[in-house]
């Protein structure tokens, strides 16, 4: 699951390396469009809908991963 998750992020943000400590809003490709893409991918892949307010509280790749783990457990 962890590998798939990292692959999704690489795809969305078009980067080669993703670290768990990364703040994904700091990536060069971060925009309202990648924001939409990420939320839509989480819905497609994990069937989870993160609303805007919650999403704003999630800052790092690790926090996002943990959120998915909790919700899919």
Partner 1 sequence: MNDVFTLKGKEILITGASKGIGRSIAVICSKNGAEVHITARNSEGLENTMNLMHTNGHDLHTADLGITEEVNALAKELPILDGLVLNAGIVKTMPVRFIKEEGIDVTFDVNIKGSILLIKQLLKLKKIRENGSICFISSVASKKMTVGNAIYSASKGAINSFTKSLALELAPKGIRVNAVLPGMVKTNILQDSSISEDDLKNHLNKYPIGRFGKPEDISYLVVYLLSNASAWMTGSLLTIDGGYSIS
Which residue has tokens 């078009």?
14
User: Residues 13, 29: contact at Cβ < 8 Å?
Assistant: yes
- Helix or strand (DSSP H, E) at 32: helix 32-46
Choose one: 16-24, 28-36, 65-73; the region binding partner 1 (CB under 8 A).
28-36
Within 41-70, the residues that bind partner 1 by CB under 8 A are: 41, 44, 52-53, 55
Assess 28 for contact with partner 1 (CB under 8 A).
Answer: no
User: Rule CB under 8 A: which residues touch partner 1?
Assistant: 12, 31-37, 39-41, 44, 52-53, 55
């Amino acid at each position: 699951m962890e590998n798939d998750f990292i692959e999704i992020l690489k795809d969305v943000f078009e980067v080669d390396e993703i670290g768990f400590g990364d703040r994904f809003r700091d990536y060069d490709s971060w925009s309202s469009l990648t924001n939409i893409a990420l939320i839509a991918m989480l819905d497609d892949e994990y069937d989870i809908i993160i609303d805007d307010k919650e999403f704003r509280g999630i800052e790092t790749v690790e926090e996002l991963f943990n959120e998915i783990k909790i919700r899919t457990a």
